[in-house]
Amino acid sequence: MSATDAAIAWLAGQQRAQAVLLDGMDGPAWLVDGRQLAVLHANADAARWLGLPSADGLVGALAATVLPSFEDAAFWAAVEAGQTACLASDIELTHPDGSPAIVHRRVSPLWVDSPQAGRVVSSWLISLRDISAERAAQREREQALAELRATLEATADGILVQDLHGHVRAFNRRFAAQWQLPDSATARGQDEAVRAWMRHCVLEPEAYDRRLREIEQQPLLPAIDQLTLLDGSVIERHSQPQWQAGRPIGRVSTFRLLNERRLGAPRPRGAEGEDPRVGCPNRTLFLQAVQHAVQASRADGGGLVVMAVAFDDHALFALDGEAAVRDLRELALVLAAHAVPQGQVASLGGGRFGVLLPGASEEAAEALARRLHEGLSHSLPALPSAVGVAAFPQAGLDAATLLWQAEAGLGEALRDPSAQRWRVQRYIPEAHGGLASGLLEAVHNGQFSRALRLRYLPSVATGSGRIVAAEALVRWIDPLRGEVPPAPWWPHLVRAGLAGAVDDWVLAEAVQQGVRWRASGWTVRLAVNVGAAQMAQPGYARRVATVLEQAKWPADLLALDVTAAALQADPLAAEANARALRELGVRLVLDDTGAAELPLALLRRLPLTGVKLDASLWVGVPQQPAAVAVVRALHALANALGLVVDAEGIETETQRALVAELGCHAWQGRLHGPPQPPDALLQQARTGAQ
């Protein structure tokens, strides 16, 4: 017998042994010859599944024809070309009873070590497993889960489902929004991240942990708690045991926000209703009314006018408590009385109101503004007012743009030094649709980097001339106008309750930029502006600490610039945050010093580390002796209190000379350069160091 014949005989013996094993397998299976790719043997289950009277009817058939699917044909063609891989996938076949079935098909090579030919594929094993019942059960589970999720999402409360060990099984989107869960914590299987994030968000984490342990030790009892979060929100938690087959299997907790209208809270987009302080529609409902009027005007070719009316804040809020509330309601009534009969009045927040006048034209807008202003001045002589007007379609083509244009006109009227305190806002092409549809939407959805960029204004050491600090300044990147400073759009964020969210983003983004600079070999102190909404939030200092800890950024390399107005919005909360920030090691700097009334008690009481002399102080320096005297006096006062003094808005060499004479620590302004992108500032710092 030749060596080839001996090898063939040996392989045949191996295949006969495999065939014996094949007959003992559960489920359809057959063997395919490794060289001829034809069926060698099949068991009875295979014949029954393939509709053959006996297994012998399958012997000799080419492997590619047994299961006539495109995937099988491609696989056997690859095998014929010399490839040896496994195939495992699900296919649809007809069950022996005629019903459709889902079958898991697996094709595996059977390797043997031949004495003559070495390691070869003697045959291929094809097996089928009916998974129809498994698929049906899976579909039922998915359907039940989908119904459960739909139920969870249909509720107005946040819902969290946990097992007896506290592991997270499910939660709804409302819960994720209440706790502002990051993407990393919302992925499946991240229950540890969810629990850690919740602990991070509460104001008193130690008390929160103790209460959780108490609840877990009593799995059969319900529990009700109130949780205060770092952003100032107060959430009521109802926790109930979850039962199955007569035994507890976990807990279902519902979370309800108790102070949704707290200071700085984001306003829910699309929420309708009245402003309870004023007794008339709020901004959202007013925008809906304007949009309906826009649609009607488009249909009939008519026009409409939107007015924004503001009353003097100092005169308006001189009264306290119920008197002030009653005064706002009276203002709304007076305003409605002076508007045309078909006009609609709404509250825009604070002492501002919106007026919708359907059917009015741009030609009539100026007369309407004059008549309304004169009527208000006659009815309320002790309460100055201003009016901004925008007409459709000249000033905009949608409700948000029209209101924005009217408020822009109101801003111009408020700054108008003449007695004429009303202004018709004409069409500004580049403004159309920009702010309303771009910035506010992006910020509300948390897509800050889509609309905002940070630029960095360097602070230069008075002695060495080197950059010692970089102040992060936020810019809106408008598609038409490019980089827009905050002045025209920041008030809109404040009224929408989104300014605090932007402040948080700026802080985190600036710290990450500082980390990138340090990795490039340059370490610099960061300066970040903080608004009233942040300083009024309990636990704001802890949020700053978390940002620093996550970025591994030293606290003494962060300065928070805060204005006197922001510190006085909620003095008790601001003082608590200021002291916590100083204990953390963060520098606290009084910004825009000298631009407004300076409360000396604030300088003595708060743990400030420095002040920035406002740019307006340097306008008359050195030509006007009075201006120089004011700068010297403020510098002397800050020095007496042990505060570091920096100067803002330095534009000339003579101003810089006075900065050096006074001994200011650092200065910033056009004399050195405007705010820079991160890479440009890094290059500037390296050039200055050389």
- For residue 545, give the CATH number of its domain: 3.20.20.450
Judgement on whether residues 190 and 299 belong to the same structural domain of the protein:
no
Reported confidence tier of residue 145, pLDDT bands at 50, 70, 90: low
> pLDDT for 529-552, tens place per residue?
998 878 887 778 888 988 898 889
For the chain, the distance separating the N- and C-terminal CA atoms, rounded to the nearest angstrom, is: 89
Out of 257, 290, 309, a domain closes at 257
Side chain identity at residue 156, one-letter code: A
Q: What is the CATH number of the domain that holds 281?
A: 3.30.70.270
Q: Do 301 and 403 belong together in one domain?
A: yes
Examine residue 622 and say whether the peptide bond preceding it is cis (omega within 30 degrees of 0): yes
Indicate whether 220 and 302 sit together in one domain: no
Give me the pLDDT at residue 152, please. Answer: 65
Look at residue 31 and tell me if it is in a domain. yes
- Here the tokens at position 296 are 């009607």
Residue 6 pLDDT exceeds 70: no
Report how far residue 403's alpha carbon sits from residue 356's, in angstroms, rounded to the nearest whole number.
10
The answer to the question of residue 138 being in a domain is: no
Q: At residue 689, does pLDDT exceed 60?
A: no
**Residue 432 in this model has a pLDDT that exceeds 50:** no
Helix-helix angle 499-519:540-551, to 10 degrees = 30
Quote the pLDDT of residue 509.
Answer: 93
Domain count, the chain: 4
Same domain, 557 and 607: yes
Among 97, 130, 163, the domain-final residue is 130
In this model, does residue 526 exceed pLDDT 70? yes
In this predicted model, what pLDDT tens digit does every residue of 302-333 receive, in sequence order? 888 898 888 766 665 554 434 443 466 777 77
Q: Could you tell me how far CA 546 lies from the centroid of its own chain? A: 17
Residue 136 lies in a domain: no
Integer-rounded Cα radius of gyration of the chain = 37
State the average pLDDT for the chain: 80
The pLDDT of residue 460 is: 92
CATH number at residue 181: 3.30.450.20
Strand partners, 349: 352
Statement: residue 517 has pLDDT above 90: yes
pLDDT of 113 reads: 76
Q: Judge whether 60 lies within some domain.
A: yes
**369 and 329 part of one domain:** yes
Mean pLDDT within 661-676: 89
Q: Which of 148-152, 230-234, 500-504 has the lowest mean pLDDT?
A: 148-152
Q: Which of 4-13, 220-229, 590-599 has the lowest mean pLDDT?
A: 4-13
pLDDT at 436 over 70: no
**Residues 588 and 633 both lie in one domain:** yes
Kindly report, residue by residue over 328-357, the tens digit of the pLDDT.
677 777 777 766 667 788 888 767 888 898
Asked if 253 and 278 sit in the same domain, the reply is: no
pLDDT tens, position by position, 579-625? 999 999 999 999 988 776 666 777 778 899 999 998 888 887 888 88
Would you tell me how many other CB atoms lie within 10 Å of the CB of residue 517?
Answer: 20
The b-or-e profile of 66-79 (16+ CB within 10 A means b, else e) is bbeeeebeebbeeb
Residues of the domain holding 211:
152-257
Assigned domain for 146 exists: no
> 220 and 312: one domain?
no
Residues 387 and 252 in one domain: no
Identify whether 673 is part of a domain.
yes
Residue 529 lies in a domain: yes
Supply the pLDDT for residue 326. 43
Instruction: Kindly state whether residues 454 and 589 are assigned to the same domain.
Output: yes
For residue 444, being part of any structural domain is answered with no
Which of 215, 231, 257 terminates a domain? The answer is: 257
- The pLDDT tens digits of the residues spanning 364-388 come to 777 777 777 777 777 666 667 788 8
309/215 same-domain check: no
Residues 249 and 375 in one domain: no
